[in-house]
């Protein structure tokens, strides 16, 4: 109780359980929620870094350490795939399994939570600014890793929740992926590293969602603003699929137009971090 301020205590007690099954639309909202919650912690973290670097006020450093510990508790409660009662103990607290995830990911999240709280405890008991400075660096890298794991988990849920026979389910998933892909290179990289490009190419290759292939290509074009996506696309034979669409006279004009857009994106000289090994493949196929 001594580590939980009164405001945080009230927030935790008044929180309502969330349903265990999420639609792609809800998952998109969760991704945004995780980002916003992480931003709250990051704001305090930035202030702590500035205070440590200035070394002016030891009391100020300790105050920010307490604040970041408080914000971390709220972040864990609202965003993690489990609620570990050993980390947060409150009167009337009910353990909620409001997220279902793979055991290995859940275990990774639990260990990371404990590590972050352990770092906070060590910062609180530290007797020098230099010690806090070292711990702050570890905290930053660890917290960033945790956020990526949580976001990746939601992306995988979005991909696995699609029922190809349900038109609404497909529409919601594709709209969510497109919206997420437009939120910057960082989230694009996360989408790519959690299997989104592979998933899209498989849909394109199998023609499972014929009426939605234009949307699939539009998302691919958005993701290909990062070099990782281009590399995945080439390695999975996606570039040849694009050329096949362009050569097929029976393909609808909208589909061929989207394919041209993807090719224009991946061949753009402005694209950063494009792997050098894919350039010869593109040039060979474009001859």
Q: What is the CATH number of the domain that holds 142?
A: 1.20.120
| Sign of the four-CA dihedral 251, 255, 257, 258 | negative
Query: Which of 159, 188, 221 is where one domain is finished?
Result: 159
Would you call 251 helix, strand, or coil by DSSP? Answer: coil
Q: Looking at the structure, do residues 34 and 113 belong to the same domain, yes or no?
A: yes
Count of residues in the chain: 287
pLDDT at 99 over 60: no
Asked if 172 contacts 24 with a C-beta cutoff of 8 angstroms, the reply is yes
* % the chain with pLDDT above 70: 74
Residue 27 lies in a domain: yes
Clarify whether residues 143 and 172 are in a common domain. no
Number of structural domains the chain divides into: 2
Q: What does the block give as tokens for 180? A: 């997420």
- Do 274 and 180 lie in one domain? The reply is yes
Residue 20 pLDDT exceeds 60: no
**Can you tell me the distance from the alpha carbon of 62 to that of 51, in angstroms, rounded to the nearest whole number?**
10
For residue 226, the domain's CATH number is: 1.25.10.10
Q: Are residues 10 and 117 in the same domain?
A: yes
Distance of CA 102 to the CA centre of its chain: 16
Contact 173, 157 (CB under 8 A): no
Same structural domain for residues 111 and 181? no
What DSSP state is assigned to residue 225? T
Residues 70 and 120 in one domain: yes
Boundaries of domain holding 47: 6-159
Residue 92 lies in a domain: yes
Residue 140 has pLDDT above 90, yes or no: yes
Identify which of 29, 56, 27 has the alpha carbon closest to the alpha carbon of residue 194. 27
From the list 265, 52, 21, the residue with the least C-alpha distance to 161 is: 21
pLDDT in tens, 169-191: 788 888 889 999 998 888 999 99
Q: Flag whether 1 is in a domain.
A: no
Give yes or no for a contact between 243 and 237, defined as CB atoms under 8 angstroms apart. Answer: no
Q: Do 14 and 134 reside in the same domain of the chain?
A: yes
Asked if residue 43 has pLDDT above 90, the reply is: yes
Least confident span in 154-158, 161-165, 264-268, 276-280: 276-280
pLDDT in the model for residue 26: 72
Q: Are residues 184 and 275 in the same domain?
A: yes
- CA–CA distance, 253 with 62 (Å, rounded to integer): 63
Residues 23 and 147 reside in one and the same domain: yes
| CA-only gyration radius of the chain, Å | 23
Residue at which a domain ends, from 130, 159, 188: 159
Regarding pTM above 0.85, the answer is no
Separation of alpha carbons 166 and 65, rounded Å:
49
Q: Two tokens at 176?
A: 């969510």
Residue 110 placed within a domain: yes
């Amino acid at each position: 109780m001594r580590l939980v301020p009164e405001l945080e205590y009230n927030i935790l007690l008044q929180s309502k359980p969330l349903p265990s099954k999420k639609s792609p639309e809800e998952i998109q909202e969760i991704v945004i929620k995780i980002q916003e919650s992480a931003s709250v912690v990051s704001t305090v973290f930035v202030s702590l870094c500035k205070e440590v670097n200035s070394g002016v006020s030891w009391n100020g450093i300790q105050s920010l350490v307490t604040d970041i510990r408080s914000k971390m508790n709220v972040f864990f409660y609202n965003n993690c795939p489990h609620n570990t009662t050993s980390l947060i103990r409150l009167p009337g607290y009910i353990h909620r399994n409001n997220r279902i995830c793979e055991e290995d990911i859940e275990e990774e999240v639990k260990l990371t939570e404990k590590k972050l709280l352990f770092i906070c405890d060590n910062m609180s008991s530290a007797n020098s600014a230099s010690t806090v400075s070292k711990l702050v660096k570890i905290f930053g890298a660890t917290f960033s890793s945790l956020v990526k794991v949580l976001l990746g988990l939601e992306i995988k849920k979005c991909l696995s929740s699609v029922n190809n026979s349900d038109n609404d389910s497909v529409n919601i998933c594709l709209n969510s992926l497109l919206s997420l892909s437009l939120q910057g290179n960082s989230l694009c990289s996360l989408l790519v590293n959690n299997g989104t490009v592979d998933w899209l190419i498989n849909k394109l290759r199998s023609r499972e969602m014929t009426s939605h292939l234009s949307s699939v290509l539009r998302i691919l074009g958005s993701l290909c603003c990062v070099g990782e996506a281009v590399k995945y696309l080439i390695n999975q034979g996606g570039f040849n699929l694009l050329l096949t669409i362009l050569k097929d006279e029976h393909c609808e004009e909208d589909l061929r137009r989207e394919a041209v857009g993807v090719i224009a994106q991946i061949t753009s000289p402005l694209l950063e971090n494009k792997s050098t090994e894919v350039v010869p493949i593109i040039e060979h196929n474009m001859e």
